[in-house]
Structure 1
Amino acid sequence: MRQLPLRSTFVTATALLLGVGGTVLSTAVAQPVARPGAQPVAQPADRPVDRLADSRGLYAPSALVLTVGEGERPAATVAERAVTLSCAPRATGTHPAPEDACRELAAAGGDPGALPSALPQTLCTREYAPVTVTADGVWRGERVTWSGTYNNGCEMAATLGVVFSF
């Protein structure tokens, strides 16, 4: 049996992959180099599959950036407040009430424009100080880009509930 020179797997792999003159060889395969006196490590033939761990990564993402700013148009409005809201696999983010906001968005199918409005039951002044809100991100894997403009902060809060209460 021929003895191989002592070199690390990394050096051997690099030499095989780069070849002569730095040219990448597409068929090169790095193999560990035998060391004198080293015993082979037994690898289990069949390892049990942790199905719970595998299924944790299988969800469509739901993560949004929500903004609130004074102004009439989204393009001309400077965001005064912004939060992040992630609803899958669990409610997190910088939103002050992520669980409640995720629950309301889920009931609306992820569409901020379909949030249940309490405006008919809310008394707001007739002050005109336009507020524009935006939601950008993904909901259950689908791209979301939404904006809405309201006459004032009271109308916005009554219309959008917990989701834009920050």
Structure 2
Amino acid sequence: MALAYFFLSDINDDGVITDSDVRPVYLRFDLNNDGQVEAQEFNLKWQEIYRESPLAVLFLRADKNRNHRLQKDEYPSLFSSLGNNADGSVKVSEFASGWVSEHFGTDSDGQALASALDVDFDWVVTAREVDTLLSRYDRNGDGEMEIIEVIQMVKLLPPL
């Protein structure tokens, strides 16, 4: 998970954390924009980052060419490590148990995310469904996913 935290903190995606990365990270913790980060703000934001980090880990696994972007041919492998099907699909039950065994979060989080992905309700998350979902989170519409776009899927998890 440390690598995921690193990539979430490396705001400009240059492979190092510098002063130019620290200020935006600090601003993410200052939830009420008063110029200070109180314990409650830190706690809430840290919980969000903790929930985002599994998506960052899965992103890093799927980024086969290591260019810090997922191309369309890499989309299907985003969640495939949670199952063991040759076609990259993942049964909802495998997804949830993989989520827990990877220490990504609770079973209910895994179930919620898998259910959000399984748009045809057949209890299997397919490459096509992942492609459809990722396309919705492609903020700049370039057909490639950056880590910051992928972690937005944290909104599919139940609220804290």
Q: What TM bracket, shorter-length normalisation?
A: under 0.3
> Larger % of helix: which?
2
User: TM-score when scaled to structure 1?
Assistant: 0.26
Q: Which one has the largest radius of gyration?
A: 1
- What is the TM-score when the length of structure 2 is the normalising length? 0.27
